[in-house]
Structure 1
Amino acid sequence: MNRTELSILIPTYNDCCVELVNSLAQQAMRLSGLSYEIIVLDDASNRPEVLLQAAYINELRNTRFVRRETNVGRAKIRNILTSMARYRWLLFLDSDMEIVSPDFLERYLQAPPEATVVHGGNCVQRDRLPHDGALKYRYEKAAEQTHDATQRNKQPYQQFNTSNFLVAKWVMEAHPLDERIQTYGYEDVLFGKTLRTAGIPILHIDNPVGFGTFESNCSFLAKTEEAMHTLFQYRKELVGYSNVLHTYAHLRRFRLAWLVRLLFLCAKKRMRTHLLSTHSSLFVFKCYKLGFYASLPHDQQQG
């Protein structure tokens, strides 16, 4: 192995991640010579049944479940996990993912030793459309077709996210996630930009974790709207890292942003009804995102 110590760090909020943790623990125990720990840090979940997992997780070898009393958000929770970690290599995983390969950990440990940030990617674990969660399923299924390692390495910083990546601890200590972002979305995109500015390369490999469950259309749409607010707030810093910003800039250049805003406000209710159905369209979803962003309070004289 190119790496012999590993802290596996799982931030969680209102998710049950027992199966994920158990899969990781089983793989880690089979790797001879590996010193490891698994830390699950709960960001003040408010579902009592989720907290029941703590007892099981704490019984696993080299594993602990820690619960915070106050919610601190997606960026700060990962920075806290960095400070809690014992080892030089950190593996961050979202708590709602599934391990899909028996050599998942070994692939990361065998990555080129000079790589200080390694992103493994995601995949969809089911071929049938879920009864609810059709929108999230279609979104991830479409992304999967163009997000293998070869494609992601063409734009390594823009294609980075924090759902599944290995990183040297010193990188996270020197370049923590931006804790200004306490709403949903784009903290990982800004982290990618930070790495680019610092000249730290990102290596993308094919070592995915899987989407096994999909949140409801209503939840996914609400998070999308929150992410558009986040994008609007940090739009100057995210130029070049968002297709929505790129498209909106073209609309403003041709004095069409006002028209998109007007059409969206007229069609918003019908678009939402469609997106909340089982027949939701990704094209309508993309139009909704752009329209929602355009409807935010930009300088009207420029739009």
Structure 2
Amino acid sequence: MFFSVVIPTYNRKPILEKCLQALEQQQFDAGEIAGYEVVVVDDGSTDGTVDWLQTNASEFPHVRLFQQDHQGPAAARNLGVEKASGDTIIFIDSDLVVTEGFLQAHADGLQSGQRSAVSSQQPLETQNSAPPTPHPISSPVFTYGRVINTANFDDPTAEPYKITDFSAAYFATGNVAIARIWLEKAGLFDTRFQLYGWEDLELGVRLKQLGLTLIKCPDAVGYHWHPPFALSQLPNLIDKEIERGKMGVLFYQKHPTWNVRMMIQMTWIHRVLWGVLSIGGRLNERTMAPFLQWLIDRGKPQLSLEVARIFLNWYNVQGVYEAYAEMQSER
């Protein structure tokens, strides 16, 4: 198989450098992996990302750079798939730093999943014979690697796995490998998801409808870097929650199921839960700022962020219902 690692990026030059350096250090079995490329799609960055990549192209021989006006990650990933040369696509984010065995781990996971899928389809009398060699793109499987969150910019891969890093997502583009034929059959990403959130999980619903099986691949590790939490980040985080609410309603409009309602927090359960915990929005970025800063000053920025999620989730639920009411009024 030949891998195309598709990375959309927008104003993340410092961590993108570490991301691409890690991808240049890959160690793999050439008998299983024919090769790989790194398809970077710049989504209209204004921080000098394109100039930096063009100036330092010799340091990243596997990188192919493409550009688009700022349209969001869904459109950027679609462009990356369109330009990719590989039969197998790996999606990661541009703030993810991987280990040197990353590609090999995904290859092993895909091969194992494909063998299992082929064996399960064999008649009983043939299952004890030599296992068939699966075609690299024939079986409906994909791998989902482990994502470990870290605020350690200098040495992101030093962060241990934490219970808060667990993800129950079916298809999330932070670290996933899939044959491009299944992406094309599903119709790629819906480019109407131009704001923050849900474009990958929505595609996951369509992939599940095609019968694809998720193969967990914990050895394909990526370290998701984000700066330590500070109060100055709150306005942007609040905006993202409101945007996520709006995109959640688009998700539900396409797939009006209870499962999607639960995912996007558009249920009375979430409305009551976050309404009670935030005291109807009275616990917010203003009233809780002193306590959040107190936690930060004591070296607990992650705990401060988790506490802030009380009112961030309330903003998200409010955004969902406001967007849903607007959608209903337009009918």
- Give me the identity figure in percent: 21
Separation in 1 of the partners of 2:279 and 2:323? 14
Q: Taking structure 1 as reference, are residues 82 and 250 closer, same or farther at Cα in structure 2, changes over 3 Å only? A: same
Q: How does 1:200-279 map to 2 (within 5 A)?
A: 200-206=212-218, 207-214=220-227, 216-236=233-253, 237=255, 239=257, 240-241=259-260, 243=262, 245=264, 248-250=267-269, 264=280, 268=284, 270=286, 273=289, 277=293, 278=296, 279=304
Deviation at 1:232, TM superposition (A): 2.6
Q: Is the 8 A contact 1:57 1:64 kept in 2?
A: no
Which residue pairs with 2:299 in the alignment? none
Deviation of residue 35 (structure 1)? 1.9
1:192 alignment partner in structure 2: 204
For normalisation by structure 2, the TM-score amounts to: 0.69
TM (norm. structure 1) is 0.74
Which one of 107, 116, 120 corresponds to residue 141 of structure 2? 116
- Structure 2 residue identity aligned to 1:123: I
User: Does the residue aligned with 2:325 lie in a helix, a strand or coil?
Assistant: coil
For residue 240 of structure 2, what is the amino acid of its counterpart? K
Counterpart Cα distance in 2 of 1:248 and 1:276: 28
Residue 174 of structure 2 corresponds to residue 174 of structure 1: no
Q: 2:100 corresponds to which residue?
A: 102
Deviation at 1:170, TM superposition (A): 0.5
The residue type equivalent to 2:39 in the other structure is: I
| Residue matched to 1:155 | none
Amino acid at match of 1:187: E
Post-superposition offset of 1:200: 1.7
Give the aligned residue type for 1:15.
Answer: R
Structure 2: stretches of 5+ with no match in the other structure: 115-139, 154-160, 297-303
Paired amino acid for 1:220: L
Shift of 1:9: 1.4
Aligned twin of 1:77: 76
1:293 aligns with 2:291: no
Equivalent residue, structure 2, for 1:39: 39
CA shift, 1:196, in A, is 1.2
SS at match of 2:25: helix
C-alpha contact (below 8 Å) 1:275/1:285 kept by paired residues: no
Q: What whole-Å deviation, never above 9, does each CA across 1:195-214 have from its counterpart, x for those lacking one?
A: 11121222222123112333
Q: CA deviation at 1:289?
A: 2.9
- 2:164 is matched with 143
Please give the per-residue CA displacement for 1:70-112, whole angstroms capped at 9, x wherever unaligned: 122211111111111111111111001111x331111011114
Gaps of 5+ in 1: 129-139, 153-157
Moved more, 38-47 or 283-292: 283-292
